[in-house]
Amino acid sequence: MTEPAAAPIGVFDSGVGGLSVLAEIQHLLPNESLLYVADCGHIPYGEKSPAFIRERCRLVAEFFREQGAKAMVLACNTATVAAVADLREQYPHWPLVGMEPAVKPAAAATRSGVVGVLATTGTLQSAKFAALLDRFANDVQVITQPCPGLVECIEAGDLSSPAVRELLQGYVQPLLDGGCDTLILGCTHYPFLKPLLKQMVPANMAIIDTGAAVARQLQRLLGERDLLSAGVARDTQFWTSASPEHFEKILPMLWKKSDTVRSFIK
């Protein structure tokens, strides 16, 4: 029988964005075997209803359970605001890590007193995000910017074309005009646009995302339960609900490695 600590960890996003979190997890926890499900067939979550996203998350959680996963990471801000509470209720003893925009560290870091948040419409409209602002952003001004269209560019593997540049510039400019010196990337897809973003903002702009913090939180939860693996990690396994061929094609660009991708049918 497999030791509980040797079981894999399920990592999930609406698409390729969660690969930015997967990389942080693999870096911090190299002994862990990882499963990755991308629900690319239903992208973008940012424009979907919370009820729809909750149902997708429920199906993916069920799949990870069938695979014997010892924990699940919702590597998606939009899925977290919609579904993490329900999943925790359904699986009270299963370690579940969600993500949220890094409002607390950004509020501590800003010197101009103005913080910008780039995220999906779903995240920015959620009660969970409003509560986060109430809790941590009382002493700073926060300018929020939904970014429809960006996720689709990244899913297509477009990280630098004139079209994505123009789209991103249109989203960032109001934040710059508003005096932001700290930018929160509140969607796991956006770290892949960091090189492009850096060309648009002053060199001293702080750009904060939460991939590394999520990996540390996962390490903490597993450690508390004696579930950290001491063995050798198996190869990461990938599934997508859209075209495995397309996912395989863009994996080397976003994951720096080729891998086989299977169909996720639920």
Where do contacts with ligand DGL occur on this chain (CB under 6 A)? 13-15, 17, 43-46, 76-78, 120, 123, 151, 187-189
Coil, helix or strand at residue 41: helix
Tally helices (H) and strands (E) across the chain.
11, 10
Write down the least CB distance from residue 231 to ligand DGL, Å.
30
Task: Return the CA Rg of the chain.
Answer: 18
Nearer of residues 100 and 181 to ligand DGL, judged by Cβ: 100
Which residue is catalytic, options 40, 57, 147, 187? 187
Which residue is catalytic, options 40, 57, 76, 153? 76
Residue 197's closest CA among 153, 251, 142, 252? 153
**Residue 64 identity (one-letter amino acid):** F
Write down the least CB distance from residue 79 to ligand DGL, Å.
7
Q: How far is CA 30 from CA 14, 179, 213, 228, in A?
A: 24, 40, 16, 11
Contact 73, 97 (CB under 8 A): yes
Task: Confirm whether 76 is a catalytic residue.
Answer: yes
Nearer of residues 15 and 50 to ligand DGL, judged by Cβ: 15
The residues that bridge with 10 in the sheet, in sequence order, are 35, 72
Tokens of 140: 């700073």
106 Cβ contact list (under 8 Å, min separation 6): 115, 117, 140, 182, 183, 184, 206, 208
Residue nearest to ligand DGL (CB): 46
Write down the least CB distance from residue 122 to ligand DGL, Å.
7
Nearer of residues 186 and 229 to ligand DGL, judged by Cβ: 186
Write down the least CB distance from residue 210 to ligand DGL, Å.
9
Nearer of residues 32 and 155 to ligand DGL, judged by Cβ: 155
Write down the least CB distance from residue 68 to ligand DGL, Å.
25
How far is residue 143's CA from residue 211's CA, in Å, rounded to a whole number? 22
Nearer of residues 145 and 229 to ligand DGL, judged by Cβ: 145
Which active-site residues does the annotation give?
76, 187
